[in-house]
């Protein structure tokens, strides 16, 4: 009764059939889960089973309980947050990774994983137009890469004393960033022992880009500067070249977070957005967001890996590779020892689609987002708060006589309860705004246009005066 290795084919086939059915009927489901809190937990026994259960039962329970409790991130009408696009081909690669179930922490624990990772990072370096010389590593998330960069800034500024004798008695360090950087930078600074108070938010201009002169005035002590390209809240970007020039004057380490927007840099016409990036020490972007590589897959490029490896690398006797001292062990570049084989899905994705197709998808998303922004701006009661940045804009709605923040929030709730599309919000300059991004891998123009119709329809439904028959 217990599932054995010999049963693998039977259940993998069943899972593949389920997956194909799921993908082909995905758009009939509400995008955002429609559950009440606790609803799924109530379907799961409080205690673990003592005795084996039949796979048949487990699979049936999966079908009964799980899909109805999911928010469908691969839904073509997912316009919330940022995407977590998974090309079908990258799902297949992940299945293969799962079956080999390898720990790819050292070169010798799977040479294919290490050597393919080196090659895939270099393929992506070329695809993004980064100069030769940048190396890199595939991490789980941008959060991890941001932490690695902040730790490297810290140790470089301390002459690598922190990893040896700790932070007690060390000089104060500061990290300078624009207020548009992601909260994972705040978290990194807390974890790194630098302290939230030492994250200096530098003033920005009207576009939300860090002001290089304000940066120059803000810098008093090291350790580094964090810049962002395509911020999470409203998509703002720093102008890298002048900011990096200032950082260089003070000898500070520079990390660029382009987690979402980085994928668009495969399109040469978009690269003005990160002009000057070649001057950075470290750059992160997530192929798992907008490129189509299944989560998790975040590439951190490094102009020189040495400072980071010196900060994070540790090689106890039991992790030595006999007779090989010059090989790459990527676990020495990052925090966890254990590593998944993440390069495989990039290899599948890049080969199965080719850069041309991936560029076309991103160009489509940018075009369609522009169309949607224009259409929404022309609807009664709607106004754009931030214009399209790549494929992302924000807007507000105001019903007659109602506060715009309250009306926008009411509209957003109505949209997500409706389920045909999924949108999320942010607070921008004290306004409650709806974020709208186009980036789902299989999104079509008609999906984006439908979103405009849904907004028009639901807005008229919640407008008190429209409801009174006006
Ligand atoms: C999404 C995002 C992150 C966090 O990414 P994870 O990979 O989920 O950690 C960090 N920075 C920016 C700019 C992002 O858009």
Give the E-state strand segments of 147-212 in sequence order.
174-177, 199-201
Rounded distance, CA 80 to CA 276, Å? 30
pTM value is: 0.95
Structure tokens at 430: 């004290």
Q: Is the CB of 257 under 6 A from ligand 1?
A: yes
Residues 198, 226 contacting (CB under 8 angstroms): no
* Ligand 1 center–CA 173 separation, angstroms: 24
Find, among 352, 431, 419, the residue nearest to 79 by Cα.
419
Q: How far is the CA of 411 from the centre of ligand 1 (A)?
A: 26
Pick from 139, 141, 336 the residue to mutate for probing ligand 1's pocket: most ligand atoms within 8 Å of its CB.
Answer: 141
- pLDDT value, residue 464: 56
Evaluate: CB of 236 within 6 angstroms of ligand 1. Answer: no
At 468 the pLDDT is: 45
In short, whether 437's Cβ falls inside 6 Å of ligand 1 is no
For position 463, what pLDDT does the model report?
66
pLDDT score of 465: 53
Asked if residue 84 has its Cβ within 6 Å of ligand 1, the reply is no
Q: Pick out the chain residues at pLDDT < 70.
A: 324, 463-470
Report the pLDDT value the prediction gives residue 460, as an integer from 0 to 100. 87
First and final C-alpha spacing in the chain: 66
Is 260 touching ligand 1 by the criterion CB < 6 Å? Answer: yes
Q: Among residues 152, 120, 126, 151, which one has the least CA distance to residue 138?
A: 120
Model pLDDT, residue 149: 98
Distance CA 177, CA 203 (A): 9
150, 257, 336, 391, best to mutate for ligand 1 pocket (most atoms within 8 Å of CB): 257
DSSP 3-state assignment of 211? coil
Question: Which pLDDT score, from 0 to 100, does residue 178 have?
Answer: 92
**Domains of the chain and CATH, by start:** 5-30+33-70 (1.20.1340.10), 103-340 (3.40.640.10), 358-462 (3.90.1150.170)
pLDDT score for 418: 94
């Amino acid at each position: 009764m217990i599932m054995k290795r010999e049963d693998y084919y039977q259940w993998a086939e069943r899972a593949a059939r389920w997956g194909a059915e799921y993908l082909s009927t995905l758009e009939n489901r509400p995008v955002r889960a429609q559950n009440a809190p606790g609803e799924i937990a109530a379907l799961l026994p409080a205690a673990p089973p003592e005795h084996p259960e039949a796979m048949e039962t487990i699979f049936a329970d999966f079908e009964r309980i799980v899909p109805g409790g999911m928010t469908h991130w691969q839904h073509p009408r997912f316009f919330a947050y940022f995407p977590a696009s998974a090309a079908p081909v990258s799902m297949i690669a992940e299945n293969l990774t799962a079956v080999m179930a390898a720990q790819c922490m050292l070169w010798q624990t799977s040479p294919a994983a290490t050597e393919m990772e080196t090659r895939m990072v270099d393929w992506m370096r070329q695809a993004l137009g980064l100069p030769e010389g940048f190396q890199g590593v595939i991490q789980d998330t941008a959060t991890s890469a941001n932490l690695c960069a902040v730790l490297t800034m810290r140790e470089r500024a301390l002459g690598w004393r922190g990893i040896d004798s700790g932070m007690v008695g060390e000089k104060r360090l500061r990290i300078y960033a624009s207020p548009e950087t992601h909260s994972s930078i705040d978290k990194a600074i807390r974890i790194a022992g630098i302290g939230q108070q030492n994250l200096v938010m530098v003033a920005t201009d009207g576009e939300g880009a860090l002001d290089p002169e304000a940066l120059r005035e803000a810098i008093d002590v090291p350790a580094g500067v964090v810049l962002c390209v395509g911020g999470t809240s409203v998509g703002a970007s720093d102008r890298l070249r002048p900011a990096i020039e200032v950082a260089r004057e003070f000898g500070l380490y520079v990390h660029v977070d382009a987690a979402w927007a980085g994928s668009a840099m495969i399109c040469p016409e978009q690269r003005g957005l990160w002009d000057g990036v070649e001057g950075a020490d470290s750059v992160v972007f997530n192929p798992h967001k907008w490129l189509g590589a299944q989560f998790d897959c975040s590439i951190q490029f490094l102009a020189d890996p040495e400072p980071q490896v010196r900060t994070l690398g540790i090689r106890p006797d039991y992790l030595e590779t006999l007779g090989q001292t010059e090989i790459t062990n990527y676990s020495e570049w990052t925090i966890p020892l254990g590593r998944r084989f993440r390069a495989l899905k990039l290899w599948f994705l890049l080969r199965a689609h080719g850069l041309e197709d991936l560029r076309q998808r991103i160009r489509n998303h940018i075009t369609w987002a522009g169309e949607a922004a224009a259409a929404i701006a022309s609807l009664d009661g709607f106004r754009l708060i931030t214009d399209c940045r790549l494929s992302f804009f924000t807007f507000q709605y105001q019903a007659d006589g109602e506060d715009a923040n309250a009306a926008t929030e009411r509209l957003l709730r109505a949209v997500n309860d409706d389920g045909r599309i999924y949108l999320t919000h942010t607070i921008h300059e004290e306004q409650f705004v709806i974020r709208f991004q186009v980036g789902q891998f299989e999104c079509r123009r008609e999906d984006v246009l439908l979103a405009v119709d849904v907004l028009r329809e639901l807005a008229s439904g919640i407008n008190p005066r429209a409801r009174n028959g006006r």
